[in-house]
Amino acid sequence: MKKILVTGGSGFIGSNLVNYLIKKNHFVINIDKLAYSSNTYNKPQNKNYKFFKLDINNKNQLKKIIEKYKPECLFNIAAETHVDRSIDSPFQFMHSNIMGVFNLLEVIKNFRKKNKKIKLVHISTDEVYGDIKINRSNEKYPYNPSSPYSASKASADHLIKSYVRTYNLPAVISNCCNNYGPYQFPEKLIPKMITNILNNRPLPIYAKGQNSREWIYVEDHCEALYKIFKKGKIGESYNVGSNLNLKNIDLVKMILKIFKKKGFKLGKKVKIKFVKDRPGHDFRYALNSKKIFKELKWKSKTNINKGLNNTVDWYLKNKKFIRSISKKHYSTRLGLKI
């Protein structure tokens, strides 16, 4: 059993990673400030789980927790994550995604001065590479972020690399494509469509739905993160992708088909509705993930049909999850205040 600290362990990917690590019999410490997107509906009930409600910018408390538990690994998943929100209110993104990471790095740097071992696995995104109109971006591809969100994530990646180079801080970065699965907050595309179908509401799609994203089932991402912790080389970045790109419109049509196949009677208002595009909207993200395939022998396992079916089933079985979230956090269109 290893002691593993997860920051942001109450968010979408964090909730899945915490469950994954507990299943692997590790002792998991979760630090999360419990922002609007946190899951408070289904918390792990396990003696090998500890939770602290804390902002990663709180240096003193963070230091105390790390010194008390001496985790072997710190997965940094805490971040502000919604691009549209970053357009309207960028400050919080800089605060959590840049200053929060700087704070973590300083705490880890000082902890290591006492000869303590700890590996930082930082979770980043494919959005740092910007719009990939053709081919796929590998880890050497230049960073070219387009939104305040992706720029804050790109900044954190640079900061981490500088700490590896200057202070020998043992950190690894994963740049993952779009995740989907249980516990995702309904402001994001897939759970938004599912929630609107369940509530007989129109299905808003930006522009004409031609934008393309690469999709990975969240459990596959958790497995990749675990591999990166175990085998990832310090100072390296690993793209984590499935190689499967879909246009938004095609993805939404797939979800509708799944509901119909399950015998779900679609309400009259459940219709695709094209809405105003996001300012600065990247047309396509696509990762070249050959490095993790070859060097860490990891590949995503879940095909999109199976993953989407599991996801729809989870939301159908866990309607309380949606009911636990205040509608004001996901029913208004954001990101148009420019």
Ligand X SMILES: NC(=O)c1ccc[n+]([C@@H]2O[C@H](COP(=O)([O-])OP(=O)(O)OC[C@H]3O[C@@H](n4cnc5c(N)ncnc54)[C@H](O)[C@@H]3O)[C@@H](O)[C@H]2O)c1
DSSP state of 140: T
Listing DSSP states for 34-72 in one string gives --TT---SS----TTEEEEE--TT-HHHHHHHHHHH--S
Amino acid letter, 173: I
| Strands laid side by side in the 119-125 sheet | 49-53, 27-32, 3-7, 73-76, 119-125, 171-176, 237-240
Dihedral sign for Cα 172, 7, 43, 39, please: negative
**322 is a contact residue toward ligand X (CB under 6 A):** no
From the candidates 32, 80, 84, 127, which is the catalytic residue?
Answer: 127
Among 123, 132, 225, 296, binds ligand X (CB under 6 A): 123
Q: Which stretch binds ligand X (CB under 6 A): 54-62, 254-262, 278-286, 311-319?
A: 54-62
22 Cβ neighbours under 8 A, 6+ residues apart: 28, 44, 46, 48, 49
**38 is a contact residue toward ligand X (CB under 6 A):** yes
Q: Report, in Å, the least distance between residue 241 CB and ligand X.
A: 10
Residue 282 token pair: 């990247």
CA distance 125 to 131: 13
- CB atoms closer than 10 angstroms to residue 277: 14
Q: Whose Cβ is closer to ligand X: residue 7's or residue 289's?
A: 7
Q: How many residues sit close enough to ligand X to count as binding (CB under 6 A)?
A: 30
Q: Report, in Å, the least distance between residue 171 CB and ligand X.
A: 14
What x/- string results for residues 183 through 222 when contact with ligand X is judged by CB under 6 A? Answer: --x-------------------------------------
Q: At what angle do helices 189-198 and 248-261 cross, to 10 degrees?
A: 40
Q: Whose Cβ is closer to ligand X: residue 128's or residue 312's?
A: 128
Among 19, 30, 86, 96, binds ligand X (CB under 6 A): 96
C-alpha distance across the termini of the chain, in Å: 49
Q: Which stretch binds ligand X (CB under 6 A): 12-20, 165-173, 203-211, 309-317?
A: 12-20
Q: Which stretch binds ligand X (CB under 6 A): 28-36, 199-207, 248-256, 289-297?
A: 28-36
From the candidates 20, 149, 180, 217, which is the catalytic residue?
Answer: 149
Q: Whose Cβ is closer to ligand X: residue 96's or residue 211's?
A: 96
From the candidates 126, 214, 220, 282, which is the catalytic residue?
Answer: 126
**30 is a contact residue toward ligand X (CB under 6 A):** no
Q: Which stretch binds ligand X (CB under 6 A): 137-145, 171-179, 204-212, 283-291?
A: 171-179
Q: Which ranges of 70-171 does DSSP label H, i.e. alpha helix?
A: 83-88, 91-94, 100-113, 148-167
Applying CB under 6 A, the residues found at the interface with ligand X are 7-8, 10-14, 32-35, 37-38, 55-57, 77-81, 96, 100, 123, 125, 153, 176, 178-179, 185
Catalytic amino acids? 126-127, 149
